[in-house]
Chains A and B, each alone.
Chain A
Amino acid sequence: MRVYVLRRVLQIVPTVLMITLVVFVMMRSIPGDPVVALLGDAYTEEDAVTVRAAYGLDRPVLVQYVIWLGKLVQGDWGASILSGRPVLQDVLIRLPVTLELIVLSMGVALAIAIPAAIIGALRQNTWADYTATTVAMIGVSIPEFFIGVLLLLIFSIGLGGLLPSSGWVYLPGTCPTMVCGVSLWGNVQHVLLPAIALGVGRAAILTRLLRASMLEVIRTEYVTTARAKGLGERPVVFKHALKNALIPTITVMGLQVGFLIGGAIVVETLFAMPGLGTFGIDAIIARDYQQVQGFALLTAVVFVVINLVVDLLYTFLDPRIRYA
């Protein structure tokens, strides 16, 4: 087991390297470069050549990548070509916003999915089950941004501006600069709609999956045995059935992380949140190479680490799975 964990942790390195390399090469093959935007109206071919040389953009792509890596291992993430701000500082300011959004939306998803799936499976083919499955089907079919728009219509516009439609208020203690709104209640108000918008779709997927595996599990002999020995319904459902039914669900949750990162880009754009998603999409569109690299690196690390955690959780939940 220990060997397996070690091997999996070591596997993170090549994956992250590959992702950052691919992003690096892709960004540099995009027509147009940041120098054009940097020079703006004062653009002349000679100036562009000098500026490119100053940033090392005239060298072969692979050489540039190695230089970027070399600086990275020394803790230097580079600086934005357009604004001159250090990339590491910028991403670290934005990371907590996105992490809060992703964690809360996963919480929303589980809070809806677990009860819905249990009720659906235990009361199979009753109206409660039909409601759960129908709502889940609808949930799978709505894109995050449309749920977001509907929430905006209801809570920000319909109910007399009950919840804010955009912007962000930081949690106490996380304010990255001297000037920003800080309050717990304000933070909750701002994160609620985006988290629901992002969480509902995941909730629907998890409900469908968890309900199906619950149905399979409650027909097994060990559940019958548990009931036969006089165990109450509660321990049977939660200790025997749910724990086993969660195993395939956990895998899918891991896969959903990729969607959550993409979904964060969309939801942050819709609600104008200062998170990593809006940072990344702005950087990609502005072709700010250094910022894009920082964004890709952090996204890749978060993605790979969460997948690793999910895999390890899998062995923990199901001792039958042994990795050599």
Chain B
Amino acid sequence: MADAGAPLRTKPRPISGSSLGEAELTTVRGVAWPAAAERSEAPLAQAVRRLRRSTTALVGVAIVGVLLVVAIFADVLAPQSPITSDQTHTFERPSRAYPLGTDQLGRDMLSRVIHGTRISLLVGVSSVLLALFIGVPLGMIAGFYGGRIDTLVMRVMDLVLAFPIYLLAILLMVMFTPTAGLIGTMKVTGAIAIVRIPIYARLVRGSVLSIKEKEYIEACRALGVRDPWILFRHVLPNCLAPIIVTTTLGIATSIIVEATLSFLGLGTQPPTPSWGWDLKANVAFIQANAWLSLFPGLAIFLTVLGFNLFGDGLRDALDPRLK
């Protein structure tokens, strides 16, 4: 879609594509042919170097890093149990004992927010990875072999895409019946993954369609290389950049979808701490206890922001032509 203006380009495009990463555009413009110096560098080293130059990407990495630490060490970091209620301390205002206050069951909000990181990150990352592991091979096979397989796979993907995504995710969750604990989390992960599979299948199919016409693939075929080897050693590495970017930004989207499902009461069920659920449960008491729904909401926002910044930086670093 953005290709409409492609043939009109006259000068080499600057390194950063769009968005916030453009802060460094001025420095780039001063150098006549930045690409020339980079040409000899390995693609990975190049990407890392560009990533390190982008402040926003580094902020994203830092946020994601802190969240990972919080999720892993939640048991150590949380001052109290996130699920033990204490009827003598309900609706406590933020204080030294309860830095973020307590909810209607007297549960420590800080501990719930800290433990909520686990659910959010777990669902966000694993649903996207699950979608990736199913969607990428489907897209590769559809694009590489074409014909009937292609039609079949892409029709099914189109069907999933024809749904407004929240509607499908909601229906899937009602079908799976939301529950608490790890099983409940896995159900949410599955529902979000199903909704996201077509995104990867389409993306990869598109890349494969152009890559398979390249001379180096023809050379492989002429040498008698088997199809799976061609697909995984030669085709896949060449469409990796958009996959990585989509995955990082996809985690942000998945976290929002998870929070939304929880908000509607269809995510991981209580007592398992979940930001979306906590936000929803505390909206009922918003008049007198405004801070209660504020903290889970801020946690969702920060997490999503972290992955978005990181994803944006990655996109600029990995492939300047990507939008």
Chain A residues within 8 Å of B, Cβ to Cβ = 15, 18-19, 22-23, 26-27, 29-31, 124-125, 130, 133-134, 137-138, 140-146, 149-150, 152-153, 157, 165, 208-209, 211-213, 215-217, 219-221, 244, 247-248, 251, 257-259, 261-263, 265-266, 269-270, 280-281, 284-285, 296, 299-300, 303-304, 318, 320
A150 and B297 form a contact (CB under 8 A): yes
Q: How far is the CA of A18 from the CA of B309 in the complex (A)?
A: 37
Interface residues of B in 245-268 (CB under 8 A from A): 252, 256, 259-260, 263-265
Q: Which residues of chain B are near A27, meaning CB under 8 Å?
A: 171
Instruction: Provide the residues of chain A in CB contact with B301, threshold 8 Å.
Output: 138, 141-143, 146
Whether B88 sits at the interface, judged by CB under 8 Å, is no
CB distance from B308 to the nearest CB of A (A): 5
Compute how far the CA of A126 lies from the CA of B4 in the bound complex, rounded to whole angstroms. 28
Q: Which residue of A lies closest to B296 (CB)?
A: A146
Q: Which of B16-42 contact A (CB under 8 A)?
A: 17-20, 22-23, 25-26
Q: Jot down 26 A-B pairs with beta carbons below 8 A, ordered by A.
A: A15-B162, A19-B163, A22-B159, A27-B171, A29-B175, A125-B25, A138-B305, A144-B260, A149-B293, A157-B290, A209-B323, A213-B2, A219-B9, A247-B4, A248-B1, A251-B1, A258-B164, A258-B165, A261-B164, A262-B165, A262-B169, A262-B170, A265-B166, A266-B263, A270-B283, A284-B171
Whether B4 and A318, one on each chain, are in contact in the complex, defined by CB atoms closer than 8 angstroms, is: yes
Residue of A nearest to B1 (CB): A248
CB-defined contacts of A26 to chain B, threshold 8 Å: 171-172, 175
Residue of A nearest to B309 (CB): A137
Quick one: which of B233-292 are within 8 Å of A by CB? 252, 256, 259-260, 263-265, 276, 279-280, 283, 286-287, 290
Contact assessment for B165 and A259 in the assembled complex, using a CB-CB cutoff below 8 Å: yes
- Please provide the 4 A-B residue pairs with the shortest distance between their CB atoms, ordered closest to farther: A262-B166, A212-B18, A146-B297, A141-B305
Q: Are B18 and A215 in contact (CB under 8 A)?
A: yes
Task: Give 19 A-B pairs besides A143-B297, A266-B260 with Cβ atoms closer than 8 angstroms.
Answer: A22-B159, A29-B175, A137-B56, A138-B305, A141-B304, A141-B308, A143-B301, A145-B260, A146-B300, A149-B283, A212-B19, A219-B11, A258-B163, A258-B166, A259-B165, A262-B166, A266-B263, A284-B170, A284-B171
Q: Is the CB of B297 within 8 A of A211?
A: no
The reply on B294 being an interface residue by CB < 8 A is yes
Would you call B5 an interface residue if the criterion is a C-beta within 8 Å of the partner chain's C-beta atoms? yes
Residues of A within 8 A of B290 (CB): 153, 157
Task: Report chain A residues within 8 Å CB of B252.
Answer: 141
Choose one: B259, B264, B305; the contact of A281 (CB below 8 Å): B264
**Inter-chain contacts of A138 with B (CB < 8 A):** 301, 305
CA distance A208 to B21 in the complex (A): 12
Q: Contacting B300 at CB < 8 Å: which of A15, A18, A143, A262?
A: A143
Report B31 CB to chain A, min CB distance, Å.
16
- The answer to the question of B183 belonging to the interface, with a C-beta cut-off of 8 Å to chain A, is no
Q: Is the CB of B174 within 8 A of A285?
A: yes
B167 touches A296 (CB 8 A): yes
Q: Tell whether B95 is near chain A: CB-to-CB under 8 Å.
A: no
Complex: how many Å from CA A149 to CA B260?
13
Compute how far the CA of A303 lies from the CA of B4 in the bound complex, rounded to whole angstroms: 26
CB-based contact A216/B259 at 8 Å: no
The answer to the question of B8 belonging to the interface, with a C-beta cut-off of 8 Å to chain A, is yes
In the complex the two chains form, is A262's CB within 8 Å of B167's CB? yes
- Whether A208 lies near B175 (C-beta < 8 A) is no
Nearest-CB distance from A26 to chain B (Å)? 5
Does B177 reach chain A (CB closer than 8 Å)?
yes
Q: Chain A residues with Cβ under 8 A from B259's Cβ?
A: 143, 145
| Minimum C-beta distance from A309 to chain B (A) | 16
Contact, CB under 8 Å: A299 / B159? no
Q: Of all chain B residues, which has the CB nearest A26?
A: B171
Measured CB to CB, the closest approach of chain B to A313, in angstroms, equals 13
The CA-CA distance from A307 to B294 in the complex, in Å, is 36
B56: A residues at CB distance < 8 A: 137
- Asked if A266 and B264 sit within 8 Å, CB to CB, the answer is yes
Output the nearest chain A residue to B287 by Cβ-Cβ distance. A157
Contacts of B297 in A (CB 8 A): 143, 145-146, 149-150
For B8, B172, B309, the residue with the greatest tally of chain A CB atoms inside 10 Å of its CB is B8
Expressed in whole angstroms, the minimum distance between the Cβ of A128 and any Cβ of chain B is 14
